Structure 1
Amino acid sequence: MTPRTPEPEAPIVENIEDIDVSSEMQGSFLEYAYSVIYSRALPDARDGMKPVQRRILFQMSEMGLRPDRGHVKSARVVGEVMGKLHPHGDASIYDAMVRLAQSWTLRLPLIDGHGNFGSLDDGPAASRYTEARLAPAALLMTDGLDEDVVDFVPNYDNQLTQPDVLPAAYPNLLVNGASGIAVGMATNMAPHNLIEVVSGARYLITHPDATVDDLMSFIPGPDLPGGGTIVGLAGIRDAYTTGRGAFKTRAKVSVETLTARKVGLVVTELPYLVGAEKVISKIKDGVNSKKLQGISDVTDLTDRTNGLRLVIGIKTGFSPEAVLEQLYKLTPLEDSFNINNVALVGGQPQTLGLRELLQVYIDHRIEVTTRRTQFRLAKRRDRLHLVLGLLIAILDIDEVIQVIRNSDDTEQARVRLIDVFDLDALQADYILELRLRRLTKFSRIELEAERDQLRREIEQLEALLASKALIRQTVSEELDDVADKLGTPRRTMLTEARAAAPAAARGSSLPSLELADTPCRVFLSTTGRALRVDLPNDGEQAPDAAAHARRSKHDAVRSTVLTTTRTEIGAVTNLGRVIRMSVLDLPSAPSASIQLAAGVRISDYLTVDAKRERVVALVSLTSGTPIALGTKQGVVKRVTPGDWPNKPDFELITLKPGDEVVGAEQAPESSNLVFVASDAQLLHYPAASVRPQGRLAGGMAGMSLSGGATVIAFSAVIPRAGAEDDSGADADGEAGIVVATVAGSSGVLPGTDTGSAKVSSFSEFPSKGRATGGVRAHRFVKGEDSLQLAWVGPAPALAVAADGAVRALPDAGAKRDASGTPLAAAVGSIGFTVSLS
C-alpha cells in the first residue's frame, strides 16, 4: 500500500490583546471592594445581619434546629451552609457561627452552643467537637419566612433560594451591635438593652417627629454584655446624633476586706471584650516596670458559679482608691469604644444616628407586617372559596354522587360538576378528591363554623390592610411582646463621672489622687433621677439653692443625703434592700444652679429589677441615726445603725409576702413617724415609741388599716417650734411642715384623672399612739374614693407630672379634713424643693 501523505498542520493563530494595566487594576479593585462591602463586612440596617450570619440562621432554621430539639455537630451546620448558600471557607463560617453563640459578645445570643465556644482569652474548639442549635431569639429573627414577608434571591449556583433579609422581630442591629472592616470603610456598633430599644422604637412609632433627646430618655446608652460602667455620656450623644462618637468603659470594682489586716480591689465586671488574663498581664507588667505601686498580688477566682472575680491585693499603707486610679490609667480596667454606625440601607452604605437606625427598622417591620397580612388574607380567601364549594356538594351530595357515577372519566365529571352546580375548576377538583368520611352531619357543622370564622378573619385582615395606623399599632404591640419574652435588666451602669487621665510618660511619676473628700449633698428626685451637689469650702457662704435653681423638670426631691464625695451611701428599694452606691460616680452640679433634670436615672446606675424594684430613698451608711422604714401593710421599723455587711447590697427588713417598703428616712428620737393610707387616714407618733431593731427583724405594727386600705406614704419629720401661718411657714420665717394629698377614683387609669389636691399644715393633725388608725386627712367628694398621692415634708410642696414637668398645687392652709381643689392637670408625684440647708 502506498503510504498516506500526512496533511499539513493548521497554522497557530495568536490573539494577543493589549490592555491598560491601570484600568484593569482599577476595575478589579472596585469589584473586590464591592464584594467585601455588600457581601461580607457590613450588616444590613434592617435585620442587623451580614450575609454569612443570615445564611447560618436561615440554614439552621431549614434544618429544624429549634431550641426544643437536640444539638447537632457544628461541622454539619458549617457544611450545609457552605455547600448550599455560602461558597467560602469553612473557617469563616464557623467563626461567624461562634460569635453568634458567645454571650460576652452579643447582648442577645442567637445560637445555643454546646461545648467549648471559647472565652475572652481563648479561642473555641474545632467545629467537629462543638454542637449547636438555634436560640429562642433566633426564632424571632426568622419567624414568618414561610409567609412571603421578604424577598428570596438565588444562591450562588441558582439552584436554591435564600432570603434577601430576615423578618427580624426586634431591632437586632442595635441590640447586638456589629463590627466589620470593609474596603475604605468600617463599622463598629455597640450592643444595647432590648427593653430600652423596644421602648424607643415604640415611642418613635407613635411620635414620628421624635428627637434624639426624646429617644435617649428611653435609650440612655449602650448596654454591654459584660456589664461594667460607661464613663461620660457626651460621646454617646454624639454617636446617637451623627453616627460617630466614643465613650470610655470601666470595670466594676469594689474595695473589700480580704483578711483582718488586708484590703483589696475586687473586679466583678470588665469592659467590653476585655479578658481577665489580659488585665492580669498588664498589671504584672506595670508592677515589674515600677509604673504601678501599692499592689501586692493578683488572684483570679473566676468560676462558673460566681462568675468573674479578680482580686487585686493592696499593700499596707496604700490607699485603695489611689491604686484604682492608677489601674484605670495604665491597664484595660478602663477601655475606650469608638462608635461608627455604618450599615447598608437600600444597598448603599450609610452612617446612621439613633433615630435613623430605628426608622429603617420600623419601615422594614411595617413592610413585613403588610406582606404577612396580604399573604394570610389570600390564604383565607382561597380556603373560604373551597369551603363554600364543599358546602354546596354536601347539601346536594346525592346529586353530586349521581353526576360522578354517570361520568365516563374524571375530566367529564369535573366539567359536569362545574356546569350543574356553578362551580369553578378548583372547587370541582376539591370535591372529586373528597373522602366519604367527610359526608357526615358533623362535618357539615364544622364546615359552616369554619366558613364563619374565615369570614371574620378576612374582615379583620382587610381592616388591617386598609389602615396604616393599625399596621403601626400591630408592629408596636409585637415589639412589646418580644420585650416581655426576651428582655432582661440593664447590666451596664451609665455615669457622667470623668474618665482617667492618659497614662503618664515613661519615667515620670504618677500623680496622687487629686479629688479631695469634700462635703456634698446627693438628691433623689421623685421621678428617679440622682444628682451630686458639691458644697462650698469652709468659710464660704452657701447660696440659697432653692432661690437660684430654675424650676425645671424632675426638680421635686424625694430624698437627700449630706455626705462626702468619697463616702458610700445606701439606696433603699421597695423590696427592703439597701444597695451601696459611690457618690463619686454620680454627675455633679454647681450649688448655685441645681437642676435635677441633669442627673442620671438611678435605676440605670444601680443593679435593680426594672419591672419589680425601685429606689424609694437615699440613706447615710455612716450616720449614727437609726433608719426608719414604713411598709405598704402598715409595718414600721427603726434599724440600728452601723455594722453593715461588707457586701454590695443587703437586706434592711424581712418583708411579709405581698408587702413592700413605701418610704425610708433617717429618724432621730426627736422626729415624728408619719403614715398616710389610701383611705385618707393620717397617723403620726414620736419615733422614740419605736425601739430600734436588728437588720433582719420584721418590724412591728405601725398603723392599723381598714379593709382594703394600704399605706401610700411614709416619712420622718421634725416639726419646727412656733406658730405657722397659712403658707406653711413659721412665724420666724423658717419653712414649716405641710401635708399634701391628691384624691381621685380608684377605677380610673393612672394619669387620666386629674383629681383634687389639698395642702394643709402638719400642726393641724393630732398625734396618736402607734398601731392606731389615725385621723382623716382629706374629705372625698362625689367620684372620689381613695388617695392617689400623699406627701408630708417641708414647705413648699412641689408637684410634678409623670414626665417631670412642674404642676401647680393649691395654696397651703386648708383644714386637715377639708375636700380638695380640682387640679388642672394630672400629678405624678410630690416632693420638696431643692435646698442645701
Structure 2
Amino acid sequence: MSSESPDVPDDVADRVKNVRVDEEMEQSYIDYAMSVIAGRALPDVRDGLKPVHRRILYAMHESGVTSGSGHRKSSNIVGDTMGDYHPHGDSPIYDALVRMAQDFSMRYPLVDGQGNFGSVDGDPAAAMRYTEARMAPIAEELLTDIEKDTVAFQANYDDRLTEPAVLPSSFPNLLVNGSSGIAVGMSTNVPPHNLGEVIDATIHLIDTPDCTVLDLMEYVKGPDFPTAANIVGRADVKQAYQTGRGRVRMRAEYHVESNGRRDSIVITELPYQQNKSTLVERIADDVRDGKLEGITDLRDESDRNGVRIVIDLKQKANTDVVENRLLESHLEKTFSVINLALVDGEPKVLTLKELLAEYVSHRKEVVRRRSEHDLGEAEDRAHILDGRLTALENADEVVELIQDAEDRDAAKETLKSAFDFSQDQADHIVRMQLGSLTSMEAADIESEYEDVTARIERLEEILGSEQELLDVIKDELREIKTQYADERRTSFIEDTGTVADEDLIPEEDTVVVLSEGDYIKRVPAETFDAQHRGGKGIIGSDLKDGDRVSTVFTASTHDYLLCFTDQGQVYRLKVYQVPEMSRTARGTSAVNILDLDDGEEISAVVTADDLDFKADDEYLTMATRNGYVKRTSVGEFGNILSTGIIAIDLEDGDALADVEVTDGSHDVILGSEAGMAIRFDEGDVRAMGRNARGVRGMDLDAADRIAGVAAVESEDDRSLLTVTEFGYGKRTRVGEYRSQSRNGKGLVDIKTGDRNGDVVSVDAVGDDDSLVVMSADGQIIQMPVDEISTVGRNTKGVNIMAVGSGDEVAGVSVRAADQADGEE
C-alpha cells in the first residue's frame, strides 16, 4: 500500500473559514425553518396547496389519471409522485392523497377515491395497495391551461424533470377547501368555505377594489364546513375575516324526539373535525362517572346516509338540563382561524380581502400569460394560413415551381423567392397534398383564417385592456360556479349565552347524603314521608360493605353552599350539581363534585345565597372539636377556588366541628359530646382572618369534645335541639341556658351514658321546623320538630329514631319552616 499522501490543493487552507458556533447554528436553524415553511408546511396563497398536494395532482395530470379515466391504484400514484417530484417517503404522500379524497375533510374533494379512505370515526384508510383514485372533476380546474405557459416551472429534486411552482387554479382554492399545517414557530388553519359565496365575493372585489371586509361578508357569510353543523354567532367570524385570526364556535346539530313517555336527544351533524366515536365514548364516560345525569342509553345509529347519535333520557329527566350539560362539555368545539399562507415565498397572515386580492392578482398573471401564449400560437397559425391562401391563389405557378425544382430544399427556396414566403410558410406549402387545392379546402382555410384573425384581435384586446382581462376572469369564475357550486351546509345560530342550570332545574328541597367512602347523591325531600318519632325510618342509601354515612343535610336544588370540612377547608357547591338518585341508590363518586382529600369529611354546611360577601357585619362563627371558637367576616369567603380554601388553622389533633352565621348581636351556644353546653356573647370572640386558630370557647374535660354550635338571640323563643348517637334527643327552651363568659365549663344540657350515647348535634329549632335524621348504616327518618317533647336541661330526652345494634346517628339536618312554606 502506498504511503504517499493524497494530492491536496494548495489553496485548501485559504478556503477554511472560522465561524462562531452560535451564529452558524442560528443561521442554519433559520434556513431549516424557512425550508419547512416554504417547502412542506404552508400553502401558497395563489392555489391554496402545499407542495405535496400540488405534486400529487400534477403527477396524476401527467399520468393521465383524470376524472375521465379509470381509477388507478393509490400505490401507483404515490410511487409516481415520490419518484418524480416528492422524495419524502410514501406515508405522508398517501396521507395527503387520502385527505383530498375525504368528503368530511374537504369541502370539495380534489380526489375521487374508490375503497376505504377512512371515516368520521377516525378509522384509518386502507393500505394504498388496496385503494384506487383519480382526479375529481373540480381538481382539473386547478390545472386548466397549465400547458400554456400560465405558471412558472422549476426543476424537480434531481433536475431530471420540471414541476409547476404553482397551479393556475381556476377558483380560490385556499378559501374554498381551507388548509391546516404546522411549521417551525408558526401554524396555519384556514377554514373551508362555500364555492359560490367565495366566487361572488371575488367578482365583487374585482368590480369594487376599494370594498371593505364587511362588504365582502355580504357574500361570504362565514366558513362552510363539510360536516355542516352550526356556527354560534357572527362576531368571531367578523374578527377572523378582519384580522386573519379568530376563534369560531361550532355547535352540533341536534333535535329532541319524544315517544310520549321519555325524550331522546338525536345528534345529526357534528362540528368540523369532530371524531364521532370519540364523542360517543366521552359522553358514555361522563354518564358512567356521574357527570351527566338523566341518560339511560346511548347509541350510534349512523350509516351511509349521515350521522345519527341517539341519547335516550330517563323518564323524569329534565331534557333542557341534559341539553345544557351536553353543550357545555361535548356538542361545541372551537375552530382557531389562522389565515397564514405564503405570499411571494414568505409567510403572511391575511384578511379576507387580502386573500381574495392575492388570488385575483394570481389569476391576472395566469390569464395574461395564457393570452400571450394563445396569441403567439394564433399568430403563427395565421402566418401559415396566409401562406396557404397565397399558394391557393397561385396554385398553378406554385405546382409548376415545385415540379421544376431539383429537390424539396430547392423548391422551398424558389417559393420563398417567388412569393416572399417565410421559411415556415415554405415548409408547410411543400408538405401540402394536392387534395388540399380543391375549392372546398380553400373555403375551409379562408374560414379558419377569419376565425384565427378574430381570435388574434380578441387576445390583443384582452392584453391591451385591464378591464377586458378582468372580465375574462369573472366570466371563467361564473362558469366554475355554475358547474360546481352547491348550497351552503353550515348554518348560523345566535349566541344567546349559556343558560344557567338553575334556570332549567325546578327548585325543590332535597336531602344530600355523603358517605365515608366518598359517595354522594341527592334525593327529593318529598321522597321521605314524615313519620312519628321513635320509628326506624326507611332505607336512605344502599351502602357498599364497610361504608357508612358521614354527612346528611337538607338544601334547595338552587342553593349555593359553603361546605366546611373537619380539616378546616371550605368548598363551594351548587346543590343541582349533585346527581339526583333514588333513595336506595349508592350515589356517585364525590371526587367528581368536591375535591376532598382522603379521609376528609364535611362537618358543616352553610347556605351562601343569603350571605352578603361585601358586608362588614356578617360573620361565620366556627367551633372546633377541642373547644376553640373563631369569627371570620363572610367577605373572606367570596372567592372560593374549586380546590377549596383554608377556613381555619387547626392545631394537631383538632378538627372543625360546626359553623353558624352570626351578625355580631348573637349569643353562641356550644354543645359537647358529653352533654355539656355553654352560652356566651359572640362579641367575646374578636373577628379574625381565615388563617387564625381562634380562642378558647369552652373548657372541656380531657375526654370531651365539641359536638356542635348554635347561634341564638337574647329574646329567642326557639329551642335547643340536642340529639345523641343512639337516637335519643330533647328540646329545651333557649332561655334556660344562661349567658356566661366564654371558656367556662358550662351547664349540663343532656344526660349521656349507655342509653343515649354521646351527643352528635345541637341546633336551634322552631316549633314548626322539621327534622331529618340519618344513621351511619343508611336508615333515614323525617319528622316534625314538635314531635319531640320540650323539657328542661339535664334530662335524658326521648327516643327520636330506633337505631339498630351496631348502628348510630350519623347526621341531623333541620329543615326550617320557611323552606317548606316556600315550596308549597
CA drift at 1:484: 1.2
The CA deviation at 1:19 is 5.3
| Matching residue's letter, 1:128 | R
Counterpart check, 1:313 vs 2:312: yes
Partner of 1:491: 489
Kindly indicate whether the alpha-carbon contact (under 8 Å) linking 1:78 and 1:93 is maintained by their aligned counterparts in 2: yes
Query: Aligned equivalents of 1:275 and 1:426: distance in 2?
Result: 64
Question: Which residue matches 1:92?
Answer: 92
Q: Which deviates more from structure 2 when the two are superposed, residues 404-413 or residues 429-438?
A: 404-413
Distance (whole Å) between structure 1 residues aligned to residue 398 and residue 363 of structure 2? 47
Displacement of 1:376: 1.3
- Cα deviation for residue 12 of structure 1 reads 10
Task: Please state if 1:427 is matched with 2:428.
Answer: no
Distance between the aligned counterparts of 2:23 and 2:77, measured in 1?
A: 41
2-structure distance, mates of 1:136, 1:175: 15
Corresponding residue number in structure 2 for 1:155: 156
2:440 paired residue among 435, 439, 442:
442
Question: Within the alignment, does 1:285 sit opposite 2:275 as a pair?
Answer: no
Per-residue CA shift, 1:757-810, capped at 9, x if unaligned? Answer: xxxxxxxxxxxxxxxxxxxxxxxxxxxxxxxxxxxxxxxxxxxxxxxxxxxxxx
3-state DSSP class of the match of 1:187? strand
Alignment-derived partner of residue 83 in structure 1: 83
Secondary structure of the residue aligned to 2:220 is coil
- 5 Å-filtered alignment, 1:584-599, equals none
- Is the aligned partner of 1:360 residue 2:358? yes
Q: What's 2:402 paired with?
A: 404
SS of the residue aligned with 1:312?
strand
Counterpart Cα distance in 1 of 2:103 and 2:314: 35
Instruction: String of CA shifts for 1:711-730, please: whole Å, max 9, x gaps.
Output: xxxxxxxxxxxxxxxxxxxx
In structure 2, what is the Cα distance between the partners aligned to 1:100 and 1:373? 31
Question: What SS is found at the alignment partner of 2:501?
Answer: coil
Give the structure with higher Rg (CA). 2
1:457 aligns to what? 455
1:229 is aligned to 2:227? no
Superposition deviation, residue 132 in structure 1: 0.2
Instruction: Confirm or deny: 8 A CA contact 1:325 1:513 kept in the other structure.
Output: no
- 1:126 paired to 2:138: no
Task: Supply the distance in 1 between the matched residues of 2:419 and 2:236 (Cα, whole angstroms).
Answer: 73
Change in Cα spacing, 1:450 to 1:341, as seen in structure 2 (3 Å) is same
- Is the contact made by 1:255 and 1:263 (CA closer than 8 Å) also made in structure 2? yes
Asked if the contact 2:324–2:501 (Cα under 8 Å) also holds between the matched residues in 1, the reply is: no
Deviation, 1:458, is 1.4
Taking the aligned partners of 1:357 and 1:57, their CA distance within structure 2 comes to 23
Aligned-partner Cα distance in 1 for 2:17–2:216: 60
Q: What does 1:446-595 correspond to in 2, within 5 Å?
A: 446-498=444-496, 500=498, 511-513=501-503
Q: Is the contact between residue 343 and residue 349 of structure 1 (CA under 8 Å) also seen in structure 2? A: yes
Which whole-Å CA distance do the structure 1 matches of 2:249 and 2:41 have between them? 25
Are 2:35 and 1:45 equivalent residues in the alignment?
no
Are the counterparts in 2 of residues 149 and 369 from structure 1 also a CA contact under 8 Å?
A: yes
The Cα offsets for residues 494-514 of structure 1, whole Å up to 9 and x where unpaired, read as: 12324548xxxxxxxx93445
The offset of 1:437, in angstroms, is 2.3
2:169 aligned partner: 168
Deviation per CA, 1:457-478, whole angstroms, max 9, x where unpaired?
2112212222111111221121
Residues 4-43 of structure 1: CA distance to partner in whole angstroms, max 9, x if unpaired?
xx97644898989865432332232122111100000000
d(CA) in 2 for partners of 1:60 and 1:7? 55
CA deviations on 1:270-305 (whole Å, 9 max, x unpaired) are 00011221111110111121111111111111111x
1:502-553 deviation line (CA, Å, top 9, x unaligned): xxxxxxxx9344599xxxxxxxxxxxxxxxxxxxxxxxxxxxxxxxxxxxxx
Letter in 2 for 1:511: D
Counterpart contact for 1:228–1:493, Cα < 8 Å: yes
After the TM superposition, which residues 201-280 of structure 1 pair with which residues of structure 2 at under 5 Å, given as runs?
Answer: 201-257=202-258, 259-280=259-280
Cα distance in 1 between the residues matched to 2:498 and 2:404: 94
Question: Which amino acid is the alignment partner of residue 274 of structure 2?
Answer: V
Question: Would you say the 8 A contact 2:320–2:504 is kept in 1?
Answer: no
Secondary structure of the residue that 1:313 maps to in structure 2? strand
What code does the residue aligned with 1:321 have? D
Equivalence for 1:771: none
Q: Secondary structure at the match of 2:450?
A: helix
SS in 1 for 2:311: strand
Determine if contact 2:229/2:271 at 8 Å carries over to the other structure: yes
- Between the aligned partners of 2:69 and 2:502, the Cα distance in structure 1 is 58
DSSP-derived class of the 1:133 partner: strand
Residue in 1 that maps onto 2:534 = none
User: In 2, distance between residues paired with 1:7 and 1:114?
Assistant: 64
* Aligned equivalents of 2:206, 2:7: Cα separation in 1: 71
Give yes or no for contact 2:175–2:198 (8 Å, CA) kept in 1.
Answer: yes
The 1-side partners of 2:194 and 2:202 are apart by: 12
Contact 2:151 2:166 in 1 (8 A): yes
Cα distance in 2 for residues equivalent to 1:98 and 1:60: 14
Tell me how far apart the structure 2 counterparts of residues 461 and 11 of structure 1 sit (CA, whole Å): 65
Aligned residues: 500
The 5-angstrom pairing of residues 636-675 of structure 1 reads: none
Cα distance in 1, alignment partners of residues 431 and 204 from structure 2: 52
When residues 236 and 443 of structure 1 are mapped into structure 2, their CA distance, relative to the original with a 3 A threshold, is: same
Q: Distance in 1 between matches of 2:206 and 2:220?
A: 15
User: Residue in 2 aligned with 1:625?
Assistant: none
Shift in Å, 1:253? 0.5
Per-residue deviation, 1:411: 2.0
In 1, the alpha carbon distance for the partners of 2:94 and 2:230 equals 31
Matched residue SS, 1:112: strand
**Structure 1 residues 19 and 299, CA, compared in 2 at 3 Å: closer, same or farther?**
same
CA RMSD, aligned part only? 2.0
Q: Distance in 1 between matches of 2:17 and 2:426?
A: 66
Letter in 2 for 1:324: E
In structure 1, the residue matched to 2:544 is none
Contact 1:340 1:351 in 2 (8 A): yes
Please give the secondary structure, in 2, of the residue aligned with 1:418. Answer: helix
Residues 513/140 of structure 1: CA separation in 2 closer, same or farther (3 Å cut)? farther
Alpha-carbon distance in structure 1 between the residues aligned to 2:463 and 2:30: 43
1:353-404 superposed Cα distances (whole Å, 9 cap, x missing partner): 0000010011111111111112111111110100110111222222222222
Give 1:790-805 correspondences, 5 Å limit.
none
Which residue of the partner structure matches residue 137 of structure 1? 138
1:103 offset after TM fit, Å? 0.6
Partner of 2:98, secondary structure, is helix
**What is aligned with 2:24?**
24
The 3 A distance-change label for structure 1 pair 12 and 212 is closer
> Which letter does structure 1 place at the counterpart of 2:191?
A
Residues 28 and 500 of structure 1: CA distance in aligned 2, closer, same or farther (over 3 Å): farther
Whole-angstrom CA distance in 2 between matches of 1:470 and 1:377: 15
- Correspondence 1:692-731 to 2 at 5 A: none
CA contact (8 A) 1:227 1:492 kept: yes
Residue 198 of structure 1 aligns with which residue? Answer: 199
Cα distance in 2 for residues equivalent to 1:224 and 1:351: 21
Percent identity between the two aligned chains: 44
Q: Report deviation, 1:442.
A: 1.0
The worse-fitting range, judged by mean Cα deviation, of 19-28 and 374-383 is 19-28
For 2:463, what is the secondary structure of its paired residue?
A: helix
Question: In structure 1, how many angstroms separate the alpha carbons of the residues matched to 2:341 and 2:318?
Answer: 46
Aligned to 1:329: 328
Q: Runs of 5+ in structure 1 lacking a partner?
A: 1-5, 502-509, 517-837
Residue identity opposite 1:196 in structure 2:
E
C-alpha distance after superposition, 1:621-653 (max 9, x if no partner): xxxxxxxxxxxxxxxxxxxxxxxxxxxxxxxxx
Using the alignment, how far apart are the partners of 2:17 and 2:479 within structure 1?
64
